[in-house]
Amino acid sequence: MHFQSSSPIVLLQLTLLGVLHAAKWTYSGPEGEHHWPKHYPYCGGAFQSPIDIRSELLRFDPTLRPIEVQNYNLSPNEQLTLGNNGHSVQISLPSKMHISSLPHRYTAAQLHFHWGSSNQPTGSEHTVNSKQYAAEMHVVHYNSDKYPNMSMAVDKSDGLAVLGVLIEVGEFNPAFEQFLRFVNGIKYRDQRVQISGFNIRALLPARLDEYYRYDGSLTTPPCYPSVLWTVFRNHVTISRKQFLSLATALYSSHAQDSSPVPLNGNYRKLQLAESRVVLVSFKEDDQSWINTGLLVPILVSSALGFVLLVSLLCCLLRQKRSAAEQDKSKRAAYNIGDRDECGSRV
């Protein structure tokens, strides 16, 4: 996750974070994620994100309240900064936006995205039972009850809260078009444009009461284990054209660089869950048998049972038909014999 904005306070935060992010890093190549721990020790430590949210990690927690977001519907008169920081597309958010349903007030700072490529449209960071989605949005908040700004909160164990939204390619999403239509203005690293405010809530799933919750980290250097993760159970959709506007229109290099480097596949590989538990705010349907080796035996047994039932019905019908024919034959023989004894013609 990356933190930048045009306001003086957040510019100061960016300057401080620039020191933390001094070493160059990428998702692949010589500065790829396998080399992150050399310059950022936390990247090789514990409580790292993202993870595969597997059924066996889940534990229902009835105390988890629906997520409540405040002031997410921004006026068109408000100006937001849309930027390309070389690692992602990012939108700065006003401090009046916050989450009110957590133990502390968490104030919004920015949102950004991770996505795949046109050849491999699977780029979400979190996966659910090994299913990877096309993209993922992170809405980043910091604990403003305890810390005055992002730079002070970013490395604290209770410093950050991030809302994770899984994105699938499907129906056109008008909310995402509010900023995607401006991406040609930020094709290269460090380019920024101003866009009008819009309803950020519309970027989230309709239901905010169903989610996964666990303790994790930033998914980019310096990988501080300071994030309370909330990953929504229900995904949102964007059209293939909208997905391609992310996957094919942007570069992680500067405009003046002689060899432009495409900006795609910007997601971190899965990290070990280790001893962590993922709390869930909902009771999953009991479909665990679908993910085990029981499905095939159940289907085979059902098919055999159906065949046996059909065979039994056919046998009963044959017996009934045979009995009916025998009864008919007896009646016919009786009638014929009766006429003969009476001298009737045969």
Catalytic residues: 87
Peptide bond into 37 cis (omega under 30): no
Region of 223 (left: φ > 0; alpha: ψ -120 to 50; beta: rest) is left
Query: Can you spell out the DSSP letters for 120-151?
Result: -----SSEETTEE-SEEEEEEEEETTT-SSHH
Q: Would you say 153 and 142 are in contact if contact means Cβ atoms under 8 Å apart?
A: yes
* Among candidate residues 56, 5, 93, the one with its CA nearest the CA of residue 276: 56
Three-state secondary structure readout of 145-185:
CCCCCHHHHCCCCCCEEEEEEEEEECCCCHHHHHHHCCHHH
Q: How far is CA 63 from the centre of its chain?
A: 23
DSSP state of 332: H
* Among candidate residues 201, 193, 263, 206, the one with its CA nearest the CA of residue 233: 206
Number of other CB atoms surrounding residue 247 within 10 Å:
24
Give CA–CA dist 228/64, Å, rounded. Answer: 13
